Structure 1
Amino acid sequence: MSRNIVHLDLDSFFVSVEQLKNSKLIGKPVLIGGTSDRGVVASCSYEARKFGVSSAMPMRMARILCPDAIIVRGDMEEYSRYSTMVTDIITERAPVVEKASIDEHYLDITGMDKFFGCHLWAHELRQVIMKNTGLPISFGLSVNKTVAKVATGEAKPNGEKYVEPPLVQSFLNPLSIKKIPGVGDKTYRQLRSMGVERIQTLTQISPEQLYRLLGENGVSIWQKANGIDETPVIPYVERKSVSTETTFDKDTTDVAYLYQLLQAMVMELTFQLRRDRRLTSCVTVKLRYSNFDTETKQMRITYTALDKPLVEITRQLFDKLYSRRMLVRLIGVRFSHLVSGFEQIDLFSESIEHYNLYQAMDKIRRRFGEKAITIAGAASPRSHEEREHIMF
């Protein structure tokens, strides 16, 4: 039986929320992100995109391309609130929902065509979301997640597109290979060097040849180009917290060691947050002394998933906790009040250098393991022989 998958995507989500708060921004080129030249664009309006501005672009370049742009620092807490509103509306009505990011959802509504008609049902859901939130949203409906997502891209802004099963390949064929989820700049350049520009051309290359060129990703891209994607819609469950703790073989008062261990623990958790597309707004540090007394301190913060601010906060909390100067038996860190987010994770305040650093470090970790790389000082100080991390 053919599946019916809906992909819902809020249009220029951060910008749309700001326009709800300030109607003077409607129809203007708007940039959300770091306000300094070293900042990064987290989101931009369609008016700004006409000048060549895009997300993750250095703010300095965006200002050159669009000198009249209005720059807004952004409010992650407010965006999270609107994201939750949208998610609540969807989960109340759809049988299976996957929250892919702060502004994207996949829905599996297979079988509903017997009762309502899937296109009509998705259309009515979109109308309810817009009416109750005031936010523009687009959707694509088709046989799988890939085609639905591509259809959403073609429906934007503020539109909807239904690609019926017999029309999947004729819909995909004339589109640029850039439209395929998973085709980044590097892959695009490799394929263009082979003369591949349109999806139809890509379908005519054998999967074996693409495997030799791009590895497993090449086979995945070939399948997507041919409208093949069996990936299920994974039911949405909001993870409430992430945590880690260490119990020492021998109780310690070595503060320098505890600082380094805290930093390593934070970096382990922040990588998990970024991998799972999550942000935290509450940090808790836990200490257990040698007499088994256990104390905790927590702090509410601006949403983030980046190492630097979270390392600083955990150290501050540790300094407030560690007042007895007793031997420490256990130390732990927990990040809670999580919300969905992704590459926007803290572009309101981070520089392009920091952004690129985190991207590069996460890429190495995904390939070689979570402990493959760390910042100097975060490796375990127990012995020089144990420090096998890459440090810089």
Structure 2
Amino acid sequence: MISLQQRSIAHFDLDCFFVSVECLKDSRLKGKPLLVGGHSDRAVVAACSYEARRYGIHSAMPMRTALKLCPHAIVRSSDIEKYSEMSRMVTEIIAGEAPLYEKSSIDEFYLDLTGMEKYFGFLKWTTALREKIMQETGLPISLGLASNKMVSKVATNEAKPNGQREVPFGGEKSFLAPMPVDKLPMVGRETAARLHRRGVEDVKTLSEVPVSLLEAWLGKNGIALWNKANGIDETPVIPYHEQKSISTESTFAADTIDMQFLHAELVRMTEKIAFELRQQDKLTGCVTVKIRYSDFETVTRQMSIPYTCCDHVLLEKVKDLFRKLYDRRLLVRLIGVRFSHLVQGNYQISLFDDTQEMIALYQAIDHIKRRFGWQYLMKATNV
């Protein structure tokens, strides 16, 4: 049996994905400082090109601030439908080639190719797949190759833009050693600052700190961080087709045709599982509505949608599906809502054209729901 330490893991990351799609739509945008997001001063930057980043611009920055830093930047409205379409196109290419892959976000993929190097050559095969993706989609994509997910992701980041990097088995620690600690995944500004205050600035130094001391500094996260600094990561590649859906349904005490009641139930169920999506940092790409009539006939209808986890977007899709599905005018015994085709991502990805206030509102709503329970704050029933 091959141990986890001898795995062959590839990480693919679509470079500046939203920006790249916009440049694909309009080649005149290539090489220019480009901002994707809303046009109002109160909107936020959803994505920005490498040229824009040179001015200190980053995603989630207020658009007004970004334009002050770079007044000549070009702003393009987001096209989440096109981004979702291109993401699915890349997914289909990978699914047709890779024996085991995980779609970890709208623009990132992990492939477990353990054992394939005997027959195809690990580097040769992944290079060919990368070239195929670029040829068939026109999108730049970077690639990292290593013995585990964490090191392969760091390798990808080092290969950007539009490059590839291989870290040979056994070379994980030496590859990571000279890097600043914030190059490690999940090491944010606060954790990096806490380490810097203790004289730990690079990964080599971090790897030499006794794990018991790191645990004392950072709790359980200290153990995980020690493993990362030493190039250790046994996280498996989770097959994409096994990604679970999130769903809920309600069987009524008495069959009903009360539309106001049914709409209220749709609002309740949609908000409940949309909150679950956000708690798990997931986005859904497919919505399904289910109806069971009083004669026990059960019907469902689904639609693929741009990836999102926002209540106001999902409620419109659920309402539209229910309207199209409910055509018998019989009493209803049960209704259900399911979100599937799940990928990692947070709600800011869906709020391209909304304001900072809208993002803050979602954050406030979720804070209240986490503290008191999702059912204590809901929208009005007139969906």
What band does the TM-score fall into relative to the shorter chain?
0.7 to 0.9
Does 2:154 match 1:150?
Answer: yes
Residue segments in structure 1 that go unaligned for 5+ positions in a row: 381-392
Distance 1:221 1:359, change over 3 A: farther
**Aligned match of 1:137:** 141
1:141 is matched by which residue type in structure 2? L
Q: 1:264 aligns with which of 268, 275, 279?
A: 268
Q: Do the aligned residues in 2 keep the contact of 1:280 with 1:305 (CA within 8 Å)?
A: no
Q: CA separation in 2, counterparts of 1:327 and 1:122?
A: 55
**Aligned match of 2:253:** 249
Does 2:106 match 1:102?
Answer: yes
SS in 2 for 1:345: helix
Q: Do the aligned residues in 2 keep the contact of 1:37 with 1:59 (CA within 8 Å)?
A: yes
Does 2:198 match 1:194?
Answer: yes
Q: 2:211 aligns with which of 207, 212, 216?
A: 207
**Aligned match of 1:88:** 92
SS in 2 for 1:152: helix
How much does 1:324 deviate?
Answer: 11
SS in 2 for 1:37: coil
SS in 2 for 1:28: coil
Q: Do the aligned residues in 1 keep the contact of 2:84 with 2:306 (CA within 8 Å)?
A: no
Q: 1:171 aligns with which of 175, 179, 189?
A: 175
Q: CA separation in 1, counterparts of 2:251 and 2:40?
A: 43
Q: What do residues 303-341 of structure 1 show as CA deviations (whole Å, max 9, x unaligned)?
A: 5320133335546777899999997643333446x4646
Tell me whether 83-92 or 19-28 shows the greater mean CA deviation.
83-92
1:372 is matched by which residue type in structure 2? G
**Aligned match of 2:289:** 284
Seq. identity, %: 51
Tell me whether 248-257 or 214-223 shows the greater mean CA deviation.
248-257
Distance 1:121 1:252, change over 3 A: closer
Distance 1:110 1:363, change over 3 A: farther
Does 2:311 match 1:307?
Answer: yes
How much does 1:216 deviate?
Answer: 2.2
Distance 1:224 1:324, change over 3 A: same
Q: CA separation in 1, counterparts of 2:247 and 2:133?
A: 34
Q: CA separation in 2, counterparts of 1:86 and 1:361?
A: 34
SS in 2 for 1:54: coil
Q: CA separation in 1, counterparts of 2:304 and 2:101?
A: 29
Superposed counterparts of 1:324-335, under 5 Å: 329-335=333-339
Q: Do the aligned residues in 2 keep the contact of 1:17 with 1:79 (CA within 8 Å)?
A: yes
Residue segments in structure 2 that go unaligned for 5+ positions in a row: none
Q: CA separation in 2, counterparts of 1:323 and 1:89?
A: 38
Q: CA separation in 1, counterparts of 2:236 and 2:304?
A: 35
Distance 1:68 1:277, change over 3 A: same
Does 2:54 match 1:53?
Answer: no
Q: CA separation in 1, counterparts of 2:258 and 2:203?
A: 59
SS in 1 for 2:241: coil
Tell me whether 203-212 or 272-281 shows the greater mean CA deviation.
272-281
Does 2:40 match 1:39?
Answer: no
Does 2:345 match 1:342?
Answer: yes
Distance 1:196 1:16, change over 3 A: same
Q: Do the aligned residues in 2 keep the contact of 1:107 with 1:233 (CA within 8 Å)?
A: yes
Distance 1:199 1:302, change over 3 A: closer
Q: What do residues 83-120 of structure 1 show as CA deviations (whole Å, max 9, x unaligned)?
A: 22222222222222111111111111122222332122
Q: CA separation in 2, counterparts of 1:298 and 1:279?
A: 12
TM-score by length of 2: 0.84
Q: CA separation in 1, counterparts of 2:99 and 2:171?
A: 26
Superposed counterparts of 1:349-368, under 5 Å: 349-359=353-363
How much does 1:123 deviate?
Answer: 1.8
**Aligned match of 1:128:** 132
Distance 1:62 1:149, change over 3 A: same
Q: CA separation in 2, counterparts of 1:166 and 1:317?
A: 53
Q: What do residues 253-282 of structure 1 show as CA deviations (whole Å, max 9, x unaligned)?
A: 887765554333112221344426323465
TM-score by length of 1: 0.82
Q: 1:21 aligns with which of 21, 25, 29?
A: 25
**Aligned match of 1:388:** none
SS in 2 for 1:164: coil
Q: CA RMSD in A?
A: 3.4
Q: Do the aligned residues in 1 keep the contact of 2:12 with 2:110 (CA within 8 Å)?
A: yes
